[in-house]
A and B are shown apart, each in its own frame.
Chain A
Amino acid sequence: MSTTKPVNQKAWWLVLPVVICVAFSAVLPLMTVVNYSLQDIISPERRVFVGTEWFVAAMRDEELHGALWRQLTFSLAVLAVEIPLGIMLALSMPAKGWKASAVLVVVSLSLLIPWNVVGTIWQIYGRADIGLLGAMLQKMGFDYSYTGNATHAWITVLTMDVWHWTPLVALLCYAGLRSIPDAYYQAASIDGASRFAVFRYIQLPKMRGVLMIAVLLRFMDSFMIYTEPFVLTGGGPGNATTFLSEYLTQKAVGQFDVGPAAAFSLIYFLIILLLCFILYNWMQRVGTASKEGAGHE
């Protein structure tokens, strides 16, 4: 947001509907969660104030630590695979012509598939008896089973996420690449710059902004992943793919432990709030940096 915009407090009236809407569906629930987190709710009529007990329990809950740890490892693995792959993909996508549009549509296809269907697709695809991937791995001599083996399940969920979201990274990088004027490349080729030099000194700096956004978006989104692993593995085998959202849902809906679930929700919310703050400040910075070179598609 640039500073040249005229100050007009009446703009609040335009924002009011959104504020009311979101307050109804976010602030009221949040207040309720805070209420829940301090009480032991046996039934709507019988509830006891327990103070910080649930927070203490949540902070010392080994299972929660396990879920948080798995979540972090998973999110980092997602970044480690998707970011380089996305960059490579963006670099290899054609720049113009019908081929560019065709590739663009094909690549973005997986982004537009409903998340539960992503789970279903991989559920089918990975089965050793009926799925192509599972059957091929079996043929190659792996005793592959995402329902029985924890490591396999984890890798399958990761592969699924890579399949699902790498295109987002690629599209962002692609947009960054397209904003580089041809003159840069011409100058580089006159200088006889190597392929790597072009990447390192022309393309990478131009992609830096979008790349940061990609990293943070992927981190945040993988941090709240729920639907796909739920459909694919249901959090199992054991708890190998029980990530934070899954664990929270199990507690809240499965066991109906309202108090502990609420305390956990708040802790989760605080983590998200911190990540969001970092993301927002990054975007602001990237936004103001790229506005000077605005006008590109």
Chain B
Amino acid sequence: MNENRFRMRTLFLIAYIVFALLPIYWMVNMSFKTNEEILSSFSFFPQHFTWHNYRTIFTDASWYSGYINSLIIVAINMTISITVALPAAYAFSRYSFLGDKHLFFWLLTNRMTPPAVFLLPFFQLYTTLGLMDTHIAVALAHLVFNVPLAVWILEGFMSGIPREIDETAYIDGYSFPRFFLTIFLPLIKAGVGVTAFFCFMFSWVELLLARTLTSVDAKPIVATMTRTVSASGMDWATLAAAGVLTILPGAVVIWFVRHYIAKGFAMGRV
């Protein structure tokens, strides 16, 4: 009976993995075909294997600048989010203060509010500030969900560090900034990594605000991709290649934080 159960489970698992991987495989498959092949024949492997689509993306400025813009936006956003979130997360994990729970709740609501709600005011705000179509505008707009997220994840990791460490350090005469930078930060390296990863993820994929706040100069790749979708005569092959390239940075990052990713998700904080 044990044997049977084992086989049932494995079968289910394999079935799920096929279900999970097939769509991704199909896109990768298509990214190596030409448009003619995609539309004319139907095959599991590219018949006329080509790098053409990738070459298009790397040589056409309207495509590769999308990636560069996205990276700039994400980098600005990640830096700001983590810098402001670190001290706040420390405060939440170590002290209780007036209104701490309400403040934490307020932060959570911002993570959960659909960006669509803030769309119009953001548009007005950044037009007034003259920041439309700049990287900083999108990066700042993305703070609304990334800062709460960063505080949340970091607070979880910091709470796992025993408070005795802080106390010992203060007794030894460490000032707060010195303790924080030389002792505490190295201890929560993994947490910072996971936080950075999630900030990266959510800023990288956000479409609505990014699309509304940019037009040409700062247009991120997600917005570029929707433009191709609406263009006449679908360029499926290039779209597929762009999709594959958009997955790659995430895949690279996940490799570095793979031991902590489950923990990050498991905190239920994503």
Give chain B interface residues in 135-175, CB to chain A under 8 Å: 140-141, 143-144, 147-148, 151
Find out whether the CB atom of A132 lies under 8 angstroms from the CB atom of B26: yes
For residue A188, give the distance in angstroms from its CB to the closest CB of chain B. 14
Find out whether the CB atom of B236 lies under 8 angstroms from the CB atom of A130: yes
Residue numbers in A under 8 Å from B45 (CB-CB)? none
Main secondary structure of the interface of B (DSSP, over half): helix
Mark contacts of A111-133 with chain B using CB atoms, 8 A cut-off: 1 yes-contact digit, 0 otherwise: 11111110011111100011111
Is A6 positioned at the interface, with any CB of B under 8 Å from its CB? yes
For residue A101, give the distance in angstroms from its CB to the closest CB of chain B. 7
Find out whether the CB atom of B12 lies under 8 angstroms from the CB atom of A88: yes
Q: Compute how far the CA of A7 lies from the CA of B99 in the bound complex, rounded to whole angstroms.
A: 11
Residue numbers in B under 8 Å from A19 (CB-CB)? 103
Of the candidates A28, A220, A253, which one forms a contact with B125 in the assembled complex, judged by CB atoms under 8 Å apart? A28
Main secondary structure of the interface of A (DSSP, over half): helix
Residue numbers in B under 8 Å from A25 (CB-CB)? 118, 122, 140-141, 143-144
Is B92 positioned at the interface, with any CB of A under 8 Å from its CB? yes
Residue numbers in B under 8 Å from A277 (CB-CB)? 105
Is B23 positioned at the interface, with any CB of A under 8 Å from its CB? yes
For residue A246, give the distance in angstroms from its CB to the closest CB of chain B. 8
Given contact pairs A11-B91, A32-B124, A248 touches B117 in the complex (Cβ within 8 A): yes
Given contact pairs A11-B91, A121-B243, A130-B38, A217 touches B268 in the complex (Cβ within 8 A): yes
Find out whether the CB atom of A210 lies under 8 angstroms from the CB atom of B208: no
Given contact pairs A21-B80, A132-B22, A275-B112, A15 touches B92 in the complex (Cβ within 8 A): yes
Is B183 positioned at the interface, with any CB of A under 8 Å from its CB? no
Mark contacts of B117-137 with chain A using CB atoms, 8 A cut-off: 1 yes-contact digit, 0 otherwise: 111111011000000000000
Is B107 positioned at the interface, with any CB of A under 8 Å from its CB? yes
Find out whether the CB atom of B103 lies under 8 angstroms from the CB atom of A15: yes
Is B187 positioned at the interface, with any CB of A under 8 Å from its CB? no
Is B225 positioned at the interface, with any CB of A under 8 Å from its CB? yes
Is A273 positioned at the interface, with any CB of B under 8 Å from its CB? yes
Of the candidates B12, B39, B87, which one forms a contact with A92 in the assembled complex, judged by CB atoms under 8 Å apart? B12
Residue numbers in B under 8 Å from A240 (CB-CB)? none
Given contact pairs A105-B254, A163-B20, A226 touches B207 in the complex (Cβ within 8 A): yes
Given contact pairs A14-B90, A92-B12, A115 touches B27 in the complex (Cβ within 8 A): no
| Tier of interface size on chain B | 35 or more
Stretch at the interface among B46-54, B55-63, B259-267: B259-267
Find out whether the CB atom of B239 lies under 8 angstroms from the CB atom of A120: yes
Residue numbers in B under 8 Å from A214 (CB-CB)? 268
Is B186 positioned at the interface, with any CB of A under 8 Å from its CB? no
Please give me the residue from chain B that is nearest to A244 by CB atom.
B114
Find out whether the CB atom of A36 lies under 8 angstroms from the CB atom of B120: yes
Residue numbers in B under 8 Å from A213 (CB-CB)? 268
Please give me the residue from chain B that is nearest to A258 by CB atom.
B120
Find out whether the CB atom of B207 lies under 8 angstroms from the CB atom of A116: yes
Of the candidates B20, B103, B151, B225, which one forms a contact with A110 in the assembled complex, judged by CB atoms under 8 Å apart? B20
Is A242 positioned at the interface, with any CB of B under 8 Å from its CB? no
Residue numbers in A under 8 Å from B113 (CB-CB)? 26, 224, 269, 272
Mark contacts of A241-283 with chain B using CB atoms, 8 A cut-off: 1 yes-contact digit, 0 otherwise: 0001100110011000010011001001100110111011001
Stretch at the interface among A56-64, A74-82, A171-179: A171-179
Is B196 positioned at the interface, with any CB of A under 8 Å from its CB? no
For residue B34, give the distance in angstroms from its CB to the closest CB of chain A. 12
Q: Compute how far the CA of A30 lies from the CA of B268 in the bound complex, rounded to whole angstroms.
A: 27
For residue B184, give the distance in angstroms from its CB to the closest CB of chain A. 12
Listed residue (A124, A172, A245) with the most chain B CB atoms within 10 angstroms of its CB: A124
15 A-B contacts (beta carbon < 8 Å): A17-B84, A21-B84, A22-B143, A25-B118, A28-B125, A29-B118, A30-B121, A32-B120, A92-B12, A120-B27, A122-B23, A124-B240, A130-B39, A168-B265, A249-B208
Which 6 pairs, one residue from A and one from B, show the smallest C-beta to C-beta distance?
A: A175-B266, A29-B121, A224-B114, A213-B268, A14-B91, A114-B205
A residues in contact (CB < 8 Å) with B: 1, 3, 5-12, 14-15, 17-19, 21-22, 24-26, 28-30, 32-33, 36, 88-89, 91-93, 101, 103-117, 120-125, 129-133, 135, 163, 167-168, 171-172, 174-175, 195, 210, 213-214, 217, 220, 223-224, 226-227, 230-231, 244-245, 248-249, 252-253, 258, 261-262, 265, 268-269, 272-273, 275-277, 279-280, 283, 297
